[in-house]
Structure 1
């Protein structure tokens, strides 16, 4: 019976698939933000040269995982734990929106530039000759980074809210996404 509950959301917590997608995406976002920080602050350093080439491919992979996660959430919507409050609902909705919008804007900029894009050895889009699509480039240049840093602030708030709940004696929030049943 335990195996079934591990892949089924329940009011007390998320299933192993939801938790796995959450933590995998968290690690990938850590990579994305480390690569962006290294690229902005340590341009042409060894760290930048190691991290930056994977920024776009990892971003695309995050978009794919987001679509899978949203589909899984939709399938399991009747068994998921309820939101803690309205602020949590709005915060999660905003995070999901930004997780979709930021890579989409990045892909638009990439396409508009006319440059080809490959991720992990797979051709995602071909480049093209001729005039660039300036509105796509402008949108990407104006909003991709701005929204990315905005999302980082929201992620910090998300983590801060979990820590605050835990410090106030409510380990329920943390347990729902870790699967750990008792507070140590």
Structure 2
């Protein structure tokens, strides 16, 4: 059972599965939008962008599950050091979580207000009404793309910090999320 739960030394299997599955889906989301911006109209673009909304819906669900799991494991998790860098890591993770929740949530709000209906994977979430609701469209139209790319930049910073921990400080930070589950 201890392999599944977090500990002060490392993240457990559940946290790792949530982390790495979200990483893979976020990579897909950013890659699909990058291909759209670089290639334009193309069959590859149509395939990748066609999955954007359903994958975003899965990401929203995973954010909720990950947040609930993280709260349930809060006292067990590896602590950040009580230094300026540790406080920066805490703040950085808080912003990452906030954006991982906000970006898909505001996109779902836009879908609800679009009037077109929304049924990712054939599961109806919002019925087609034919009526646009502007107050639901506006937040996503203003912020979804900009904050998604901001999230992408923060994720890149997160990866760079992990590389810094691994190669410069050699403090075992990467092993907490990717190393052996038990010693």
- TM-score by length of structure 1 reads 0.91
Structure 2 residue matching 1:88: 3-state secondary structure: helix
Q: How does 1:33-182 map to 2 (within 5 A)?
A: 33-84=30-81, 85-130=86-131, 132-180=132-180
- Count of aligned positions: 177
Determine if the alignment matches structure 1 residue 25 to structure 2 residue 22: yes
2:130 and 2:65 mapped to 1: Cα distance? 34
Deviation at 1:40, TM superposition (A): 2.2
CA contact (8 A) 1:102 1:148 kept: yes
Farther-moved stretch of structure 1 (100-109 vs 147-156): 100-109
Does the 8 Å contact 1:14/1:179 carry over to 2? no
The range that moved more, 44-53 or 58-67, is 44-53
The alignment's C-alpha RMSD in Å is 1.3
Q: Deviations over 1:36-63 (max 9, x none)?
A: 1122222221211111111010001011
Unaligned runs of 5+ in 2: none
- Secondary structure class of the residue paired with 1:124: coil
Shift of 1:171: 4.2
Is structure 2 residue 4 aligned with structure 1 residue 7? yes
TM-score when normalising by structure 2: 0.92
- Unmatched tracts of structure 1, length 5 or more: none
SS in 2 for 1:168: helix
Instruction: Give the ranges of 4+ consecutive aligned residues of structure 1 lying more than 3 Å apart after TM superposition.
Output: none
With 107-116 and 50-59 compared, the bigger mean Cα shift is at: 107-116
